[in-house]
Amino acid sequence: MIATHETQIYRNDASELKVQDREKLLKPYLPKKPLKAPRKSKSQPIRKFLMTQLHFLIFTTMHILFSLYIRLRQTFHIVIDRIFAILYYHHRAPELIKQDIRGLERIPQHLSVILELKAEEQGLAGLEKLLDDVAEISAWCSGAGIPMLSVYERTGILKDHIQRTHRVVCSKLHSYFGRQVPTLQIQAPHVPSFLNGDEFERSSSVAGHLSILLLSEGDGRATLVDLTKTLTEMSQRNKLSAADVSLDLIDAEISESVMTEPDLLIVFGPYVKLQGYPPWQVRLTEIYHSQDNCGVGYQVFLGALYNFAKAQMKFGR
């Protein structure tokens, strides 16, 4: 604060003070002089160029090493699959399939698979390949004693050809079992089932029974949405109280309208991609896939059964 004497002098007659005196009085209250701005460093194009090339070299090296690792891993899995395909080939003989799984402590009672109709296989050729895959898996399940098979294909093209699917599967079962083929039933949610429609199937049922359920994307989350709407409408009409809605009720309704929960789900692909598979039915399901595998193969099917037999099922309370 300005001294009292100086303040009094300034108030009495500011003109008596010289310029230097007035500057001296105000100098303590003036802001400090700004610091000088730092000088910009001179550009170094050579250094920037070298750093860019170094980063590019590191990036390229990482990509080369990763690509090499992927190629080696794929080659290893291809060789292993070929070896297992030779050692454990079924030769279309149910006896050999039973011999391959003889040492397993348990097998799934409901097996589910995910198949994909690829974009490059659209048309009649793609459908024929898809039907042949379904028929092969069906024959393997019959030989292994699995009574229930559910096949998920996202587009639902199999559901549009149930009768044709039944005919192809029956023909494949006949090539495996001869005339003693198991009875066969093919069905789909909200679609009439097709049972005993082939001449081979009428011969005998000594080989057991196989049920095939065809699923599509519409049987997944859309079913949960429809069930939610139905329960909401029933609650609004006082036909159902909120206390009656439980997990057991939802599970019973979905199991009746779509399917029960499978024990084992096989993804015939290089990684686990459910593609819209019904989410409610895979809560406790064992999911299996073979790394770098891109097709339906008996060695993948057999590996899934061995993995299921060794799996430990731990259910929470």
pLDDT at 166: 92
pLDDT at 9: 59
In whole angstroms, give the CA distance from residue 217 to residue 277: 6
pLDDT at 16: 64
Q: Which residue, among 168, 92, 175, has the nearest Cα to 128 in the 3D structure?
A: 168
Band (315; pLDDT cuts 50, 70, 90): low
Q: Which residue, among 26, 88, 41, 46, has the nearest Cα to 306 in the 3D structure?
A: 88
pLDDT at 316: 59
Q: What confidence tens digit (pLDDT) does each residue in 169-193 have?
A: 999 999 999 888 888 999 988 777 7
Choose between 33 and 144: higher pLDDT.
Answer: 144
pLDDT at 255: 77
pLDDT at 34 over 70: no
Give buried/exposed letters for 5-30 (b at 16+ CB in 10 A, else e).
eeeeeeeeeeeeeeeeeeeebeeeee
- The pLDDT of 194-208, averaged and rounded, is 54
Do 213 and 187 contact (CB within 8 A), yes or no?
yes
Q: What confidence tens digit (pLDDT) does each residue in 216-232 have?
A: 988 877 777 888 888 88
Q: What confidence tens digit (pLDDT) does each residue in 251-284 have?
A: 788 877 788 899 999 999 888 888 889 888 888 8
pLDDT at 37: 59
Which residues touch 245 (CB under 8 Å, ≥6 apart)? 231, 235
Band (203; pLDDT cuts 50, 70, 90): very low
Q: What percent of the chain shows pLDDT beyond 70? A: 85
In whole angstroms, give the CA distance from residue 159 to residue 166: 11
CB neighbourhood size of 179 (10 A): 11
pLDDT at 18 over 90: no
Residue that has been written with the tokens 């460093």 in this structure = 41
Q: What confidence tens digit (pLDDT) does each residue in 121-153 have?
A: 777 888 999 999 999 999 999 999 999 999 999
Which of 22-26, 109-113, 296-300 comes out lowest in average pLDDT? 22-26
pLDDT at 58 over 90: yes
Within the chain, residue ranges assigned H as helices are 4-12, 19-26, 45-87, 94-100, 124-144, 162-177, 221-236, 247-257, 298-310
Q: What mean pLDDT is reported for the chain?
A: 83
pLDDT at 293: 87
Q: What confidence tens digit (pLDDT) does each residue in 77-126 have?
A: 889 888 888 888 888 899 999 999 998 999 999 999 999 887 677 778 88
Do 214 and 158 contact (CB within 8 A), yes or no?
yes
Band (196; pLDDT cuts 50, 70, 90): low
Which among 27-31, 65-69, 233-237, 276-280 has the top mean pLDDT?
65-69
pLDDT at 198 over 50: no
The pTM score is 0.75
